[in-house]
């Protein structure tokens, strides 16, 4: 299903019959095309053009636009691609158009050749305006209009763009176990597979091209959806869901789009988790964008960029066996085997944690997350969701959540969401809990009562025994037991702190779910 104004009827923008065309100067001016590391043509460009042309740019402007529009009520989920292509070895230009349903190749039209960049750019800008009702020159202030396409802002990452503070030609050594772990969390193929399997379209908005503005816009729409859920306003939910899927493209196949309206808190939570992962990936691309050279040097450079020291824990040590016992005794419904344990020392965390280091009730607790997120977590630390992110599933307010049951935290690894189904990564963090506010049911906490440092949500199943280390840290290593007198309420204990300084990462635990 295509927009009737699309260039699918053989018309060239500017010809008779084109209804809305932006005004452009008639006098041809000199256009200087900048040559940097070339932006590649769209994957569906015919081979004879793809390998002989590149996308042009002027200064920092890349003449490449991905447009989308999703309308739930009309059951349309469409895209439109526009690129200006220049011959690699000649002054010949073409305007490439591709349009169709998200998830399908669609239809293609090449307009040209043009003898000048000016003519091709004029063509590009006219099409952009016709599709979006926005001027290309003012795209940074883009406004979405009904029945028009939305422009997806891209980051174009190059090897020759602004050097990172740490050159990637770093010579250094680290053990093969850390290197193998780094290759896991830096694996873009894994990230693509995991996001694809939860519906995200990595073709329309490639992970390496994600921008902060896209993430921010997605959160804004989800915030509006959170405010409407439960108000029985189906029409508005369909409209807002369409806006979300326009910003974050999804592949729906032949299914009716009304099945995908974000109309429950569970669906909202799922989309929030997706956008959170996309945010972590956006940060990861910034870390990795300039890393080039021999593989071992690149991997070491990526490791240094984490500013997080990792040291393998040997399986023969008491330390390893204590953590293994903790996992085994609190994994009642999960079969897993430890692959690696690393001690973690995150730059700056010890200094921030100092004021809590002698507080009573410091516990070693689990925190799980999707594989796609770990490069971001280890480089930035655990962070409380910003205020712009709607709360859905955060039953006790905006904080950092931990568990004393492996079963609870491992569910956040989303091990069935694609990519390497068998691998999971969890943190064991030292969490300064102090005096806890104990709750038996959900309660959105905005401010803790005086004297309280954290919240403990009381679960029905919990470890039966605790071990205290020499430094005073408490580890719940006993076997899990269920309070049979409680038939309602929370399944597992949850611990929530509302200050990031109360947490320091102590161990990374990599597990294999097929290992037993």
Residues with Cβ within 8 Å of 35's Cβ and at least 6 positions away in sequence, in order, are: none
Residue 200 in contact with residue 249, Cβ under 8 Å?
yes
Residue 110 has phi, psi (to 5 degrees) of -105, 125
DSSP E strand boundaries for 299-360: 308-312, 337-346
Which tokens is 193 given?
């597979």
Euclidean distance between CA atoms 318 and 310, whole angstroms: 18
Residue 403 has phi, psi (to 5 degrees) of -140, 155
Euclidean distance between CA atoms 371 and 190, whole angstroms: 8
Pairing of strands 459-463, 490-492: parallel
Q: Tell me the helices (H) and strands (E) count for the chain, helix number first.
A: 12, 22
Residue 496 in contact with residue 365, Cβ under 8 Å?
no
Taking the CA of residue 103 as centre, how many other CA atoms within 13 Å lie in the half-sphere pointing to its CB? 16
Residue 399 in contact with residue 496, Cβ under 8 Å?
yes
Three-class secondary structure of residue 440 per DSSP: coil
Euclidean distance between CA atoms 252 and 234, whole angstroms: 20
- Nearest residue to 310 (alpha-carbon basis) of 409, 402, 378: 378
Largest CA distance in the chain: 84
Which tokens is 25 given?
């100067």
Residue 511 in contact with residue 336, Cβ under 8 Å?
yes
- Nearest residue to 433 (alpha-carbon basis) of 467, 461, 399: 399
Give me the residue label for tokens 């693509």. Answer: 192
DSSP letter assigned to residue 404: S
Any catalytic annotation for residue 494? yes
Of the residues 153, 280, 340, 494, only one is catalytic, namely: 494
Alpha-helical segments (H) within 367-444: 374-380, 406-410
Report how far apart the first and last C-alpha atoms of the chain are (Å, whole number). 49
Dihedral through CA 181, CA 186, CA 189, CA 192, nearest 10? 120
Which tokens is 213 given?
């503005």
Which tokens is 79 given?
């895209």
Residue 96 in contact with residue 43, Cβ under 8 Å?
no
Phi-psi category of residue 59: left, alpha or beta, with phi > 0 → left and psi -120 to 50 → alpha: left
Q: Which helix (H) or strand (E) holds 430?
A: strand 423-432
Q: Which residues are catalytic?
A: 494
């Amino acid at each position: 299903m295509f927009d009737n104004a699309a260039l699918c009827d053989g018309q060239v923008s500017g010809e008779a019959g084109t209804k809305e065309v932006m005004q452009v100067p008639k006098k041809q001016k000199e256009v200087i095309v900048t040559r940097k590391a070339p932006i590649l043509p769209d994957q569906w460009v015919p081979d004879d053009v793809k390998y002989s042309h590149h996308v042009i740019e002027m200064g920092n402007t890349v003449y490449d636009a991905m447009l989308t529009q999703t309308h739930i009520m009309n059951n349309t989920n469409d895209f439109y691609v526009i690129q200006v292509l220049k011959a690699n070895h000649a002054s010949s230009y073409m305007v490439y158009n591709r349009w169709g349903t998200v998830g399908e190749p669609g239809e293609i039209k090449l307009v040209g050749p043009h003898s000048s960049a000016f003519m091709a750019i004029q063509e590009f800008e006219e099409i952009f305006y016709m599709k979006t009702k926005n001027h290309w020159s003012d795209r940074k202030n883009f406004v979405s209009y009904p029945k028009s396409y939305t422009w997806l802002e891209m980051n174009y990452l190059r090897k020759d763009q602004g050097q990172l503070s740490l050159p990637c030609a770093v010579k250094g050594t680290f053990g093969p176990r850390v290197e193998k772990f780094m290759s896991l969390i830096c694996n873009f193929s894994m990230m693509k597979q995991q996001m694809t399997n939860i519906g995200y379209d990595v073709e329309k908005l490639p992970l390496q091209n994600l921008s902060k503005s896209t993430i921010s816009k997605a959160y804004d729409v989800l915030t509006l959806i959170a405010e409407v859920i439960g108000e029985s306003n189906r029409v508005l939910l369909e409209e807002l869901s369409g806006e979300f899927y326009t910003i974050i493209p999804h592949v729906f196949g032949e299914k009716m789009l009304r099945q995908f309206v974000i109309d429950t808190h569970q669906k909202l939570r799922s989309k929030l988790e997706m956008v959170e992962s996309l945010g972590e990936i956006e940060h990861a691309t910034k870390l990795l964008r300039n890393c080039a050279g021999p593989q071992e040097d690149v991997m070491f450079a990526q490791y240094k960029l984490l500013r997080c020291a990792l040291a393998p824990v040997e399986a023969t040590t008491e330390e390893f066996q204590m953590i293994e016992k903790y996992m085994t005794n609190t994994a009642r419904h999960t079969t897993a085997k430890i692959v690696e344990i690393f001690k973690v020392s995150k730059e700056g965390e010890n200094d921030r944690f100092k004021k809590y280091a002698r507080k009573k009730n410091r516990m070693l607790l689990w925190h799980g997350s999707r594989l796609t997120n770990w490069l971001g977590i280890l480089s930035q630390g655990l962070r409380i969701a910003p205020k712009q992110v709607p709360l859905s599933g955060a039953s006790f307010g905006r904080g950092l959540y931990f568990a004393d049951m492996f079963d609870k935290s491992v569910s956040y690894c989303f091990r069935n969401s694609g990519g390497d189904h068998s691998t999971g990564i969890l943190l064991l963090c030292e969490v300064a809990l102090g005096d806890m506010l104990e709750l038996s049911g959900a309660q959105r906490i905005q401010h803790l009562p005086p004297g309280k440092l954290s919240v403990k949500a009381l679960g029905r199943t919990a470890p039966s025994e605790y071990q205290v280390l020499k430094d005073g840290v408490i580890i719940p290593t006993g076997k899990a037991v269920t309070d049979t007198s409680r038939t309602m309420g929370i399944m597992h204990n949850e611990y929530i702190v509302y200050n990031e300084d109360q947490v320091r990462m102590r161990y990374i635990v990599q597990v294999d779910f097929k290992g037993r």
